[in-house]
Homo-oligomer: A and B are copies of this chain.
């Protein structure tokens, strides 16, 4: 497994690989890798000649009051996991090389980036879209792999790829969960034992929401959200950022649930902010 630190070396490797006619599967990450990431690398390994994983905690996608500085950095464990999954290249650029003095350009997807996560985290998706396009231009991937836990992120990147005529194909992969249903996330490690026990309720509530809709007990999203919010509010120290029913493509709020929709939630438990989503129909 090759570790590449410089942007120019990454680009040189990518161009050489593509010129040889090989496909590149790319998994962009912020490190703190877990089974969710492992599933993306595993899929990339199956579908491509060469697998590149980037580890870069991207300051551009954190708000001023968010956890950029204390975001978990677990380099040794990450490399062990990537070696086990048979990644070919780990790309670990520095902040300085990604954003040198004078850096100014920003990519926005206005129709998708100011709602849900975007409303709670202004500028977040601008930071995500900008870094992902930069990484695409460095890694020259044939396919790029993203987890559906970050459903809105998948939508934003897909829109950007289509709109800017990027040649990469986005592959969205199912959320990986703990045995009790909690979506696996790098931020789960912030949770105390008690909080971890409570956190599973986020998934349970989304699951209940899906049942209520599929059994046609509640097809009005306002009524549904009110019911689910009452349950979430009972988690000690919790604060609901949002819980919404939205269109799977446009992410616009859906009032009457008559076709497939996404039920998405962001909840703070103590100081930890967790997100999850489920398809309902």
A residues in contact (CB < 8 Å) with B = 7, 11, 15, 19, 21, 102-112, 129-130, 133-134, 137-138, 159-160, 163-167
Contacts and interface: CB of A to CB of B under 8 A. Distances in A.
The 10 closest A-B pairs by CB, nearest first: A105-B163, A137-B165, A104-B111, A105-B160, A106-B108, A105-B109, A134-B165, A104-B109, A103-B163, A138-B165
Contact of A11 (B15, B130, B160, B165): B165
Contacts of A134: 163-165
A252 to B, nearest CB: 12
A129 B163 CA distance: 13
14 contacts: A7-B165, A11-B165, A11-B167, A19-B21, A103-B163, A104-B109, A104-B111, A105-B108, A105-B129, A106-B108, A106-B109, A107-B108, A107-B164, A137-B167
Contacts of A108: 105-108
Given A11-B165, A104-B110, A105-B160, 16 more contacts: A11-B167, A19-B21, A104-B111, A104-B112, A104-B159, A105-B129, A105-B159, A105-B163, A106-B109, A106-B110, A108-B108, A133-B164, A134-B163, A137-B164, A137-B165, A137-B166
A1 to B, nearest CB: 23
A112 B102 CA distance: 11
A19 B164 CA distance: 21
Nearest to A98: B165
Nearest to A250: B102
A100 to B, nearest CB: 8
Interface centre among A11, A102, A109 (most CB of B within 10 A): A102
A154 to B, nearest CB: 15
Nearest to A8: B165
A273 to B, nearest CB: 26
A104 B137 contact: no
A62 B133 CA distance: 25
A130 to B, nearest CB: 8
Nearest to A108: B106
A19 B7 CA distance: 22
Contacts of A167: 11, 15, 137
Contact of A105 (B15, B21, B164): B164
A103 B112 CA distance: 11
